[in-house]
């Protein structure tokens, strides 16, 4: 990949391209379409959701959608176009999304993916995610999902790790 890549929050004008990428890179082979442009636009506008895009020369090549709760976040979607895979884009996007989650006070991120998506399972394991459970029929009642999760809290030297102690270590 020779072009400079820019990461930015998505805008409503990006919704159609993100939806198409979801359809052909994530939802391929499934009946229906769970992330059409309208749902992506809603996510872009939601205050509790970050929709991150990676663009090279004004062309979207990757995106991620993460929904934030009080202490946990859920990675709904993450995709990188095949022409830009294995260049570190997914790892950079996850680092960006995890940092945003930390700033928001999030301690844990969860996600689901198809059990037969071995490349993605390996990718998330390399980032420190653990397989928590299997969910039969998660994808349109036909495919099983694996749920993965990771505690993203960082240990800060010189900080109290036990809140009951009440003083710095």
Confidence of residue 158 (pLDDT cuts 50, 70, 90): low
List of residues 6+ apart from 16 with CB closer than 8 A: 37, 40
Tens of pLDDT, residues 25-83? 988 878 778 899 999 999 999 999 999 999 988 899 999 999 999 999 999 999 999 98
User: Residue 68 in contact with residue 76, Cβ under 8 Å?
Assistant: no
What are 116's two structure tokens? 């037969």
Tens of pLDDT, residues 109-140? 999 999 999 999 999 999 999 999 999 988 87
Higher pLDDT, 131 or 165: 131
Q: List the domains of the chain with CATH numbers.
A: 5-151 (3.40.630.30)
Query: Looking at the DSSP assignment, which residues form a beta bridge with residue 130?
Result: 149
Q: If DSSP codes are grouped into helix, strand and coil, which group holds residue 123? A: helix
What DSSP line would sit under 8-68, residue for residue?
EE--GGGHHHHHHHIIIIISTTSSS-SS-HHHHHHHHH-TTEEEEEEEETTEEEEEEEEEE
pTM value is 0.86
Confidence of residue 169 (pLDDT cuts 50, 70, 90): very low
């Amino acid at each position: 990949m020779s072009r400079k890549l820019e990461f930015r929050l998505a805008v409503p004008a990006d919704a159609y391209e993100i939806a198409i990428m979801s359809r052909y890179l994530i939802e391929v082979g499934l009946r229906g379409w769970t992330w059409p442009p309208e749902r992506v636009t809603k996510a872009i506008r939601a205050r509790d959701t970050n929709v991150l895009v990676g663009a090279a020369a004004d062309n979207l090549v990757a995106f991620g959608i993460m929904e934030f709760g009080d202490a946990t976040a859920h990675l709904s979607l993450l995709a990188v176009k095949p022409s830009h895979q294995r260049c570190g884009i997914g790892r950079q996007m996850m680092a960006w999304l995890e940092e945003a989650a930390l700033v928001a006070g999030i301690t844990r991120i969860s996600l689901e993916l198809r059990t037969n998506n071995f490349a993605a399972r390996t990718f998330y394991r390399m980032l420190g995610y653990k397989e928590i459970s299997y969910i039969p029929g998660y994808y349109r009642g036909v495919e099983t999902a694996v749920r993965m999760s990771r505690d993203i809290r960082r240990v800060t030297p010189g900080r109290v790790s036990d809140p009951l102690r009440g003083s710095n270590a």
